[in-house]
Structure formats: structure tokens, C-alpha cells
Amino acid sequence: LHGHGKPYRTSDLARMMYNLSLSPAEVIKKWRHETEDDEEAKEDGEEDDFFKISKAEGPSTAEDRYISHFDYVTLEKKWEDEDNLELIRKRFISGHISEKS
Amino acid sequence: MTDERTQPLLKFTGQKYLTHRLVLSTLTGRPIRISQIRSSSPTNPGLAPHEVSFLRLLESITNGSTIEFSYTGTTLVYRPGLITGSADGLGASGGVLRHELPAGCTRGISYFLIPLCLLAPFSKAQVNVIFHGPGVITSATPTGDVSVDTVRTAILPLFAQFSIERNIELRILKRSCAGPGGKGGGGEVQMVFGHQVRLPKTLHLMNPGRVKRIRGVAYAIGVAGANNARMIDTARGVLNKFVPDTYIFSDVSSAPFISTNDRSNPGAKKKIGIGFGLSLVAESSTGCLYSADVVCPPSGGVPPEEIGKQAAYQLLEIISKGGCVSSIAAPTMLTLMAMGSEDVGRLQMGRDVIGSEEMIELGRDLNAFGGSGWGLRDAGDESGDIVVSVVGRGVGNVGRKIA
């Protein structure tokens, strides 16, 4: 289906952004090259094709959120790992100030 | 009625992005029809109390808007009028508009404030609204709203980037967390937005800089102030090794009282909205802001240390996504850019910030309201960010056409 290229390509997102035949969720999924199966199994496994379409069109259970859902257990693991801390350190004024002007 | 022929109704479905679509409709003057609002919900179909309340707010700060509901409330037709703000004689008295929120409201006050701030720069007169009543929740909510402190310290400063900076104030008169079951609060907030412009300045924000300081507000409402100290302590424990310049304010207040609506004892009042939470804002060397918000759930049972830690990790996660705006601020920024003069504005955004469902829907909505499409390109530095180019529509403030 999308065998070519690597995920997260800017041109892919620009192309799909205004393609109204894809729902925003589908655009993100394709852009990240996530496989359809995991996602669907996670949400609800028993639905067949007929219902999937209506669900994508009218997300009647979804509500607006400003703060997205965070899984704090994974976050804590991530930000206690020294490698990840090193990666983010350059986003702070205190770290590696000498290597960039 | 002539409008009807020249401007057909723009059609949308679903309750998601409702406030933002209403804001865009008001700003561009395009009437809209939103259908299938919770149409498949067997228990609560149609508009929720907070959405009805937002429509009432729109009605009172505009002149000539018409709102039609279907019988079940699942379909809504909105024809926008002129944004008049809190001008005397149109619902406001003494230049202040008092807006009461019903007790069943489950959303934080930021649900109303952020869209209101988007409308306010394009108003004819200044916007001065007091939110009161048994539904005002000033804290963050489990439904995903940011706290009023985050609006004040992370959203309002964004307007300065568009040269909208004078006489803007958000006063927190009474704090409140979400009440039992996440419903209602009893807080009180006053929003003064006195800087109206013809057109917002074209924005070029391409350098995220580095985070230089972190500020925050810890609030404890109706509970011991020691909770604040414990939240601040753990949050600082995580953040101090990155930014020594971390300062978190502590605000302790008593729980608000609201009427119990008991017929036999009309004077009876009850306490509501007890809890604690933490709002953190990181500021970069170039003035970009990243915010995090965590609040205790209305059912309780989470220690303040956990809240402090979660807020700190959430902030790190949001900073790590990069770009010049967080996903909380991005809709405000991009909408103001789209309303600007007919010139190309640029905004650098993190890959995961622009690549989200909300942003794609926002881009499509702006396009549907007559805006041009966004241009996306790689930032070309090591950050891996994307630069979004937005061409303004040059609509601006209709009430200020004659300067």
C-alpha cells in the first residue's frame, strides 16, 4: 500500500493534508507508516468493515482536548533514561552551550 | 437572507472542534451548519451544557448572530454577526459582561477563554467578561482543559508576537477545581482584552531557542497548602537539573461556596471544587512557551508527589517535541496567522505537533473557511522540525475598517 519511502516525510504530509478522502486519523497513520492492524485491534476488535467507515466519519464519542492523554508510566521510564535525558539536554540553555554559538 | 444565496452554509459534522469552527465562522462571517452532534450517543445526544454556554457567550459578545438548534440538539445552524465585545447596551452593563456557567459544566474555563481570546482582537469594543456561577472550573480538568494559570502565562503572551499586547489581563477572582464527578466548580474569572487591532502582524517564528527558565503555579483549593509544597518539591527535583532558574509559585485558597438549591433551606451553601494541581510553563531564549498541566482527579486518591512528577515529565515531553509552539498554543497561533494581512507568515513546529489529527483538521477547517492551504517544508536544521507557511486572508477586523 505504502511501501515506498520512509515515514514522517514532510512532502507526504503536505500531500495528504488536504486530501479529504482520508480522515485526519488516517493521514497520521499513513504518515507514520503505522500498520492498520495494531490500531484497530487496540480500539475494538469485533467491528467489521461496514461499521468502520461510519466510525471514521462521525466520531461521536470523541471530545475536544487541549491536553492530550499521556501515559505517565511510560513517560517516567522515558525521562529517567540517561540517553533520553542527553537528547533533550540540548534544548536547554544549561547544556552544551559551548558547542553552539 | 441575501447572505444565504451569496454564502451557502458551510457544513461540518461532529462535536469535535466545535468551538474553533464557531470562532472561525465568526471571524470570517461565514454561516455554518454542524450536524451529527453526539447523534449516536444513547444517553446524552446533542449539545452538552458547556457547548450551549459557549454559544450563549458568542451571542452576547456579537451583534446580530442567530443560532438555531434542532429539536434534539444534534444539529446547529450558526449565522455570525459583528463582534462587538462588551459594548454597553448589548447585554453588558458598565462595560462588563457577566456570563454565568451552569452547574453541569464539565469543562474548565479555558474551554471558553481560549476561543474568546481569538475573537477579542477583532472586536469593535474591548472585551471584558466575568465568568461566574456554579460551573466555573479554573483548574485543569480531567476532560483535558488547561488551567487558567496556563492561559494567563502561556497563551496570552503569544498575542504579543502579533503586536497585540496592551491592556490584556486575566484576573482570577476565585479559584476552583472540578466538583464531584468532574462537574461544576464555583470559581470566578475576569477576562479583560482591551487591545483591538485592524490586522495582526505577520509572524515569522523560526528559532525555538533553548529553554532558559521555568515558572509555574501550584494551587491548592480547600486543602492544606502543604500539598503545594510537596508538588513543587517533586517537580523541582525533576526539572532543576535542566533549568536552575525554576520557580513555582504557591497559591492556597479556600474552597468556593455555592448554593445547594435546596428548597426547604434556600440559604444553604455547600463547598465545591476541592483539590490541587500544578501548571508549569517553560520559556525559551527566543520567547517560545511550552506548558504542562496536571490536576488531581475529582475522586482524589493521587498523592501530590505524583501530580508534581507527572507535570514535570509532561513538560519534558512537550519540550522534547520541539518547534516554536506546543500543541496547546498551535491552534491560536495558526488561526491568528491565517487572519493576518495577505502576506506569508512562517512558524516552525515540531514534527509530532503538526502531525496530529487536531492540526490536520485545523488546516482543513481553515481551508474550508476560505484560507489558503499551508505550505510545509523541512526546517533544514538538526532539529527535524517542519516550517509551516501560512498566507493571511487579510480579513481582519470588520469593526475597525475605518481606523
The 10s digit of each residue's pLDDT in B111-139 is 999 999 999 999 989 999 999 999 999 99
Which candidate in A22, A85, A92, A99 is best for mutational testing of the B interface (most B CBs within 10 A)? Answer: A92
* pLDDT for the residue numbered A42: 47
**What are B322's three cell numbers?**
520541539
Same domain, yes or no: B342 and B313:
no
Q: Measured between alpha carbons, how far is B306 from B326 in angstroms, rounded to an integer? A: 23
User: Does a structural domain hold residue A84?
Assistant: no
**What are A89's three cell numbers?**
539536554
Domain that holds residue B376: 326-398
- On whether the CB atoms of residues B63 and B84 are closer than 8 A, the answer is yes
Q: Which residues, numbered 11 to 30 in chain A, qualify as contacts with chain B under a Cβ-Cβ cut-off of 8 Å? A: 11, 13-14, 17-18, 20, 24-25, 27-28
| Domain end residue (candidates: B272, B300, B320) | B320
Q: Does residue B27 surpass a pLDDT of 90?
A: yes
Same domain, yes or no: B260 and B356:
no
Query: Measured between beta carbons, which residues in chain A are less than 8 angstroms from residue B316?
Result: 75, 79, 88
- The answer to whether the Cβ–Cβ distance between A91 and B320 falls below 8 Å is yes
CB proximity A9 to B under 8 Å: no
Same domain, yes or no: B297 and B388:
no
Same domain, yes or no: B306 and B332:
no
- The tens digit of pLDDT for each residue in B337-386 reads 999 888 999 999 999 999 999 999 999 999 999 888 899 999 888 888 99
> What confidence tier does B188 reach under pLDDT thresholds 50, 70, 90?
very high
* pLDDT for the residue numbered A96: 52
* pLDDT for the residue numbered B211: 95
* pLDDT for the residue numbered B382: 80
Domains identified in chain B, total number: 3
Same domain, yes or no: B280 and B234:
yes
Q: Does residue A2 surpass a pLDDT of 90?
A: no
* pLDDT for the residue numbered B287: 93
Tell me the HSE value of B243 on the side-chain side, using a 13 A CA sphere: 28
Rounded to 5°, the CA angle A89-A91-A94 comes to: 60
Same domain, yes or no: B258 and B280:
yes
Query: Measured between beta carbons, which residues in chain B are less than 8 angstroms from residue A68?
Result: 144, 327
Distance between first and last Cα of chain B: 29
% of chain B with per-residue pLDDT over 70: 96
Burial class (CB within 10 angstroms; exposed 0-12, middle 13-18, buried 19+) of B93: exposed
| Domain end residue (candidates: B295, B320, B345) | B320
Q: Does residue B159 surpass a pLDDT of 70?
A: yes
Domain that holds residue A15: 10-57
Q: Does residue A62 surpass a pLDDT of 90?
A: no
- Count of A-B CB contacts under 8 Å: 140
User: Does a structural domain hold residue B179?
Assistant: no
- On whether the CB atoms of residues A64 and B19 are closer than 8 A, the answer is yes
User: Does a structural domain hold residue B296?
Assistant: yes
Query: Measured between beta carbons, which residues in chain A are less than 8 angstroms from residue B111?
Result: 64, 66
State residue B289 phi and psi, 5-degree precision: -120, 140
Mean of pLDDT over chain A? 74
| Facing residue for B328 by CB, picked from A58, A66, A75 | A66
| Domain end residue (candidates: B320, B341, B373) | B320
* pLDDT for the residue numbered B238: 93
Same domain, yes or no: B220 and B304:
yes
User: Does a structural domain hold residue A20?
Assistant: yes
Q: Does residue A54 surpass a pLDDT of 60?
A: no
> What confidence tier does B394 reach under pLDDT thresholds 50, 70, 90?
confident
Query: Measured between beta carbons, which residues in chain B are less than 8 angstroms from residue A32?
Result: 355
Domains identified in chain A, total number: 1
Angle at which helices B18-28 and B49-61 pack, to 10 degrees? 20
- On whether the CB atoms of residues B161 and B168 are closer than 8 A, the answer is no
The single-letter DSSP state of residue A82 is H
* pLDDT for the residue numbered A3: 54
Q: Does residue B268 surpass a pLDDT of 70?
A: yes
- The answer to whether the Cβ–Cβ distance between A18 and B309 falls below 8 Å is no
* pLDDT for the residue numbered A49: 53
* pLDDT for the residue numbered B347: 96
* pLDDT for the residue numbered A48: 52
Same domain, yes or no: B254 and B289:
yes
Q: Measured between alpha carbons, how far is A81 from B331 in angstroms, rounded to an integer? A: 32
- The answer to whether the Cβ–Cβ distance between A65 and B143 falls below 8 Å is yes
Mean of pLDDT over chain B? 91
Q: Does residue B202 surpass a pLDDT of 90?
A: yes
User: Does a structural domain hold residue B351?
Assistant: yes
CB proximity B69 to A under 8 Å: no
Query: Measured between beta carbons, which residues in chain A are less than 8 angstroms from residue B146?
Result: 66-67
Query: Measured between beta carbons, which residues in chain A are less than 8 angstroms from residue B357?
Result: 24-25, 27-28
User: Does a structural domain hold residue B302?
Assistant: yes
Length of chain B: 403
Of A55-59, B65-69, B110-114, B123-127, the least confident: A55-59
User: Does a structural domain hold residue B160?
Assistant: no
- The answer to whether the Cβ–Cβ distance between A57 and B110 falls below 8 Å is no
Tell me the HSE value of B91 on the side-chain side, using a 13 A CA sphere: 20
The CATH number for B72's domain is 3.30.110
pLDDT, average across residues B330-338: 94
Query: Measured between beta carbons, which residues in chain B are less than 8 angstroms from residue A28?
Result: 355-357, 360
Which residue type, as a one-letter code, is found at position B220?
A: A
User: Does a structural domain hold residue B112?
Assistant: no
Same domain, yes or no: B353 and B279:
no
- On whether the CB atoms of residues B378 and B386 are closer than 8 A, the answer is yes
User: Does a structural domain hold residue B108?
Assistant: no
User: Does a structural domain hold residue A36?
Assistant: yes
* pLDDT for the residue numbered B399: 67
Same domain, yes or no: B275 and B363:
no
Q: Measured between alpha carbons, how far is B98 from B261 in angstroms, rounded to an integer? A: 21
User: Does a structural domain hold residue A22?
Assistant: yes
Q: Does residue A18 surpass a pLDDT of 60?
A: yes
* pLDDT for the residue numbered A100: 44
| Cα→Cα distances B351→A87, B324, B327, Å | 16, 11, 11
* pLDDT for the residue numbered A57: 41
User: Does a structural domain hold residue B194?
Assistant: no
User: Does a structural domain hold residue A51?
Assistant: yes
Alpha-helical segments (H) within B240-384:
304-320, 330-338, 351-354, 357-368
Same domain, yes or no: B334 and B299:
no
State residue B252 phi and psi, 5-degree precision: -110, 125
CB proximity B41 to A under 8 Å: yes
